[in-house]
């Protein structure tokens, strides 16, 4: 599932390509991917322009010049491609939004969606979300305060969108590894030093993943050399049975609270 780095990478690319470009055509191949009747969806979008693309957690918000918002959540397996019919991936599309001779294809939205909302509705939907981990206001002190009084496993806390927005399975494991902590460690048992190390790990991993284009393996457009560049930099995620880059131990895969976890039992500890 695309997480903060992947969605922020998409946001940056889209901000360079579609801002103030009029929407010239809309195709909806799967009605369940939207939240209003197809004709209403098309009428609302045709001729409008995107004036700003925002990211909140794992969502993208397209701010339209008519005051409306398009809210995107790719969920599991979703991706976007910007280009022409000839060069796009040979996969079925759920929604297509054209800007002249280029189209933004929404692919894999079987679980994801592209919903049309008012600004007020978007604010209400995001009210329960936790703070952004890379926001300038996310200081070590604020992070420690967020963890204070929390209970349960570290993995469960990191992926809880009501606690911190944008982190999912992949980066929760990568952050835990960077901090030298087991994903199963109880948050309530972490020392002050461990919490400080965890904060530093979160900042380092997410920023490096963002600059590396995230782990999505499908280019966003022809000539895109950035998207997916972080995939080969993951230290533990999806590396079961391989050698740990840090200590040479073997990366394990297990299940914790219904989620898969990857970790190195040799150099990740309780503190």
| 3, 6, 132, 178: the active-site residue | 3
Give the model's pLDDT for residue 1.
Answer: 85
How far, in Å, are 7, 10, 117 from residue 130 at the CA level?
17, 21, 21
Distance between CA 77 and CA 208 in Å, rounded? 22
**Distant-in-sequence, close-in-space partners of 223: CB < 8 Å, separation ≥ 6:** none
Distance between CA 106 and CA 103 in Å, rounded? 10
Examine the residue annotation and report whether 3 is marked as an active-site residue of this protein.
yes
| 42, 56, 186, 259: the active-site residue | 259
Q: Which residues pair with 69 in a beta bridge?
A: 63, 117
Confidence (pTM)? 0.95
Flag residues of the chain having pLDDT under 70: none
Q: Output DSSP code: residue 7.
A: H
Examine the residue annotation and report whether 259 is marked as an active-site residue of this protein.
yes
DSSP string, 151-170: -SBHHHHHT-TTTSSS--HH
In the chain, which residue ranges form alpha helices assigned H by DSSP? 4-17, 38-45, 119-126, 140-147, 154-158, 169-179, 192-211
- Tell me the per-residue pLDDT of 185-201, one tens digit each, with 9 for 90 and over: 999 999 999 999 999 99
- Tell me the per-residue pLDDT of 23-71, one tens digit each, with 9 for 90 and over: 999 999 999 999 999 999 999 999 999 999 999 999 999 999 999 999 9
Q: Spell out the domains of the chain, with CATH numbers in brackets.
A: 4-127 (3.20.190.10), 140-263 (1.10.8.50)
Tokens of 85: 């019919």
| 5, 55, 58, 235: the active-site residue | 58
| 2, 5, 133, 219: the active-site residue | 2
Three-state SS string across 193-259, please?
HHHHHHHHHHHHHHHHHHHCCCCCCCCCCCCCCCCCCCHHHCCCCCCCCCECCCCCCECEEEEECCE
Give the model's pLDDT for residue 182.
Answer: 98
């Amino acid at each position: 599932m695309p997480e903060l780095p992947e969605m922020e990478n998409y946001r940056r690319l889209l901000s360079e390509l579609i801002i103030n470009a009029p929407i010239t055509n809309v195709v909806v191949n799967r009605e369940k991917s939207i939240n209003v009747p197809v004709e209403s969806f098309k009428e609302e979008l045709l001729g409008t322009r995107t004036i700003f693309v925002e990211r909140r957690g794992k969502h993208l918000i397209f701010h339209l010049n008519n005051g409306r918002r398009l809210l995107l959540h790719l969920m599991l397996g979703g991706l976007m491609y910007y280009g022409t019919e000839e060069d796009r991936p040979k996969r079925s599309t759920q929604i297509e939004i054209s800007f002249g001779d280029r189209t933004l294809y929404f692919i894999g939205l079987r679980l994801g969606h592209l919903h049309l909302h008012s600004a007020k509705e978007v604010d209400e939907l995001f009210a329960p979300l936790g703070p952004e981990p890379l926001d300038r206001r996310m200081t070590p002190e604020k992070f420690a305060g967020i963890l204070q009084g929390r209970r349960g496993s570290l993995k469960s806390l990191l992926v809880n969108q009501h606690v911190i927005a944008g982190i999912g399975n992949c980066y929760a494991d990568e952050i835990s590894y960077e901090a030298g902590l087991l994903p199963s460690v109880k948050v309530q048992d972490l020392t002050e030093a461990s919490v400080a190390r965890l904060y530093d790990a979160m900042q380092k991993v997410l920023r490096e993943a963002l600059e590396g284009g995230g782990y999505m393996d499908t280019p966003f457009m022809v000539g895109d050399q950035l998207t997916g560049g972080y995939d080969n930099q993951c230290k533990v995620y999806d590396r079961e049975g391989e050698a740990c880059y840090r200590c040479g131990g073997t990366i394990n895969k297990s299940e914790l609270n219904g989620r898969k976890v990857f970790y190195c039992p040799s150099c990740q500890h309780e503190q």
